[in-house]
Structure 1
Amino acid sequence: MSKKTVGIIFGGKSAEHEVSLQSAKNIVGAINRDKYDIVLLGVAKTGKWFLYDPETYLINESNPKEIALTNSNREVAVVPGEASAQIIDLSTQAAINQIDVIFPVVHGTLGEDGSLQGILRTINLPFVGVDLLGSAVSMDKDFAKRILRDAGIPVANGLVFKAYQKQDIIFDQVIEKLGLPVFIKPVNQGSSVGVSKANTENEFYKGIESAFLYDDKILIEEAVIGREIECAVLGNDNPIASLPGEILPQTEFYSYESKYIDENGAILSAPAELSPADTEKVRTTALQVFKVLDCEGLARVDFFLQANGRLVVNEVNTLPGFTKISMYPRLWSLTGVSYPELIDRLIQLAFERYDRKVKLKSVVFE
């Protein structure tokens, strides 16, 4: 069988740019080069796309805070239409050699909110991960909660405010409904970017200011007391769930630094020390969430398991981190799927979905 070419897109304009570079580094290092050729497409913080050499695309690659793209003069453009000429190298005006499938590793806004997925659909390329709709609704914590509640899946109570309602956010009124402490989150951010925990009125208003720096819609959410349980899901029509893991934060809450920078910021207990019944409940509910939110390919579902056995969905990550301390690949490794095998399965799932969708009629009259 001939080798396929995988285009890996990483970087991006979001606050998770550096996380994306770490994820890309790990995927490039683990992908089976006997089976796949790779083309690296880095998205600068300006939003421009560039072509990179796999040997020299990163600087400060061992420092999560300082990791960055190297300079490239090979800017690229995307062109909708036939698969033979979707991505153009502007320095030569020539199409890049055929790319068979895209592995997007752009975390956060414009990467896992449906924006990039829409571009990839437009240029008619198979791509790894959740499609446009599932990406958009899963990224938006407001809409995800509405959909999950409608399906009868427990979520934390919260209040949503848009930027124009900022003057209506009154500490006493919010605390009367949600209690203390509360978590304040940008609705369309991941990796705990812009998230803060408030125990006092001063922390409350500081948290609101911080959250609105990252989004024009914020969520103020009750604090759910429970064990932090995560479960990885893999598949399209017949997805499977990993063994659950438990996050044991070593800081006040599972922050951005705990997830991606400080290797001692959290301990992953995996498999989680759960009863067989609770393990099955986590895996079954993770699959239910995955399907309800129209996910395909991959996702990580995060829960709180309360002392009374109630399982509450915290959030769904449709493009979880692939860094060396990220939970998604670690959970699959514990479940018997190695990192290279996981990458291979995700690519095959991308082809499977594309083959299904390409058979759909796009015209009424022929």
Structure 2
Amino acid sequence: MNTQPTSHSPEGSRVRVALVFGGRSDEHAISCATAASVLRAIDRERYDVVPIGITREGRWVLVDDDPHALEIRDGRLPAVPNTGRRVVVPLGGLDHDLRVVGDDGTREDLGPVDVVFPLLHGPFGEDGTIQGFLELADIRYVGCGVLASAAMMDKHIMKLIFASAGLAVGPYTVITDVDWHRDRAACLDAATSLQFPVFVKPARAGSSVGVVKVDGPDELEPAIEKARTHDPKVLVEQGIVGREVECGVLQGRGAEPPRISDCGEVTVLGGGHEFYDFEAKYLDEDSVRIQVPAEVSERVRQEMRHIAATAFEAAGCEGLARVDCFVTEDERVVINEINTMPGFTPFSMYPQVWAASGLTYPELIDELIALALERPLGLR
């Protein structure tokens, strides 16, 4: 596989990559941990790396190139410090220079960047907001564009797109902020019409933040209220009894079709976790096993790959995505969701399924940067 990117910097110089991480979402710490992994793995002989953190308040700051400070350690969740020098991002045209502003107002020119690698999870980053900002600034970036990022962040819109593409989705109902205030009883009736257990989720969040498994009607209202603390739009999904199996998708070069990895499976081994929740993913890794390749039949494997490619193209995705499905005992495959900026540490599912498919973690970083550099600016 050719992973040699073309630099827009002067001939012979390294490709300049701005890693952007942190952000205003509830997944701030996970984004920092992702950045730590990329900082450790990226080839410093090929890339000049500029780490830029976004604080929880939304301030863009220049961050020390120190992976250790950004890792999850002993249950401690990292955060972007609010003490860095403020970063000023170019507003478009021929100027791609980054600048930093000191507390005394002095400015320093950091020079141009070739590509931005947004390592952001959740709202205000993965949802098309930073993608739109970079589009306006005429800066190339890794990953999906504005529409795909926004649509796939909203689990309701995502399911509508999947269904229109002929993919099987599980039963669900949506509760908007207006619905909840206008007629709470009707919202609860719609949710109780589903078969229990159900999963109550913020419609526009990831990493299982705010997700609650509900076993009966009496638990619904508090679960909805909990989800609403993360997002006023809530999804209630009927639980599907099956295994959680996932595929990684990587955009093809040029007009080539998307590349699909082998399947991986998540198994929760204990630790008091009923499902693959936030704590199991990031704070209690000993309770979770990721098996790649997943032990599924060849028919299921091929169907998973077909579903992953169909979902990726139906959503208009670019760069990368992880597609999650449920496989029932009778080998029915139901798509659950697509993640346009999946967990990206070496121990996360997305890098693991690609490693099993012949692409190492550093090679995966190379390929994503190469795809971003070959992407034209403007409408495409």
- Provide the TM-score with structure 2 as the length reference: 0.89
Q: Residue 165 of structure 2 contacts residue 310 of structure 2 at CA under 8 Å; is this kept in 1?
A: no
Alpha-carbon distance in 2 for matches of 1:115, 1:176: 34
Alpha-carbon distance in 1 for matches of 2:70, 2:193: 48
Quick one: structure 1 residues 100 and 57, their matched pair in 2 at CA, closer, same or farther if it must change by over 3 Å?
Answer: farther
| Alignment of 1:234 onto 2:214 | no
Deviations 1:165-216 (Å, cap 9, x if unpaired)? 2153447623552111111111100111111011123321111000111111
Quick one: structure 1 residues 310 and 213, their matched pair in 2 at CA, closer, same or farther if it must change by over 3 Å?
Answer: same
| Alignment of 1:248 onto 2:251 | no
Alpha-carbon distance in 2 for matches of 1:227, 1:82: 49
Deviations 1:266-297 (Å, cap 9, x if unpaired)? 21111001111111111111011000011010
Select 1:34's aligned residue among 35, 45, 48: 45
Select 2:152's aligned residue among 127, 135, 138: 138
Aligned-residue Cα RMSD (Å) equals 1.9
Offset at 1:265? 3.1
Offset at 1:29? 0.3
Q: Residue 61 of structure 1 contacts residue 68 of structure 1 at CA under 8 Å; is this kept in 2?
A: no
Q: Residue 19 of structure 1 contacts residue 64 of structure 1 at CA under 8 Å; is this kept in 2?
A: no
Matched to 1:99, the amino acid is V
Offset at 1:322? 1.3
| Alignment of 1:184 onto 2:200 | yes
**1:275-286 counterparts in 2 under 5 A?**
275-286=297-308
Quick one: structure 1 residues 95 and 84, their matched pair in 2 at CA, closer, same or farther if it must change by over 3 Å?
Answer: farther
Select 1:329's aligned residue among 324, 339, 351: 351
Select 1:319's aligned residue among 341, 359, 364: 341
| Alignment of 1:98 onto 2:112 | yes
Indicate the larger mover: 196-205 or 222-231. 196-205
Matched to 2:268, the amino acid is P
Alpha-carbon distance in 2 for matches of 1:70, 1:240: 37
Select 2:373's aligned residue among 351, 358, 361: 351
Alpha-carbon distance in 2 for matches of 1:77, 1:135: 24
Offset at 1:81? 1.6
Alpha-carbon distance in 2 for matches of 1:43, 1:75: 10
Q: Residue 248 of structure 1 contacts residue 268 of structure 1 at CA under 8 Å; is this kept in 2?
A: yes
Indicate the larger mover: 71-80 or 323-332. 71-80
Deviations 1:61-100 (Å, cap 9, x if unpaired)? 5345332334533111223123434532122323322111
| Alignment of 1:257 onto 2:276 | no
Partner of 2:168: 154
Alpha-carbon distance in 2 for matches of 1:195, 1:115: 23
Q: Residue 257 of structure 1 contacts residue 265 of structure 1 at CA under 8 Å; is this kept in 2?
A: no
Partner of 2:291: 269
Partner of 2:36: 25
Offset at 1:56? 7.5
Matched to 1:13, the amino acid is R
Deviations 1:300-346 (Å, cap 9, x if unpaired)? 00000112222111111000111243111111111110000000000
Quick one: structure 1 residues 263 and 57, their matched pair in 2 at CA, closer, same or farther if it must change by over 3 Å?
Answer: closer
Q: Residue 22 of structure 1 contacts residue 64 of structure 1 at CA under 8 Å; is this kept in 2?
A: no
Indicate the larger mover: 84-93 or 147-156. 84-93
Q: Secondary structure at the match of 2:17?
A: strand
Alpha-carbon distance in 2 for matches of 1:289, 1:198: 28
Q: Residue 299 of structure 1 contacts residue 317 of structure 1 at CA under 8 Å; is this kept in 2?
A: yes
Q: Residue 63 of structure 2 contacts residue 84 of structure 2 at CA under 8 Å; is this kept in 1?
A: no
Q: Secondary structure at the match of 1:144?
A: helix
Alpha-carbon distance in 2 for matches of 1:120, 1:172: 41
Quick one: structure 1 residues 83 and 230, their matched pair in 2 at CA, closer, same or farther if it must change by over 3 Å?
Answer: farther
User: Which runs of no fewer than 5 residues in structure 2 stay unpaired?
Assistant: 1-11
Offset at 1:259? 1.4
**1:67-216 counterparts in 2 under 5 A?**
67-91=78-102, 92-167=106-181, 168-170=183-185, 173-174=189-190, 176-216=192-232
User: Which runs of no fewer than 5 residues in structure 1 stay unpaired?
Assistant: 361-366
Indicate the larger mover: 235-244 or 132-141. 235-244
Alpha-carbon distance in 2 for matches of 1:328, 1:56: 20
Q: Secondary structure at the match of 1:53?
A: coil
Quick one: structure 1 residues 311 and 59, their matched pair in 2 at CA, closer, same or farther if it must change by over 3 Å?
Answer: closer
Q: Residue 90 of structure 2 contacts residue 98 of structure 2 at CA under 8 Å; is this kept in 1?
A: yes
Q: Secondary structure at the match of 2:375?
A: helix
Quick one: structure 1 residues 339 and 59, their matched pair in 2 at CA, closer, same or farther if it must change by over 3 Å?
Answer: closer
Structure 1 outlier segments of 4+, above 6 Å:
none
Q: Secondary structure at the match of 2:330?
A: coil
Q: Secondary structure at the match of 2:193?
A: helix
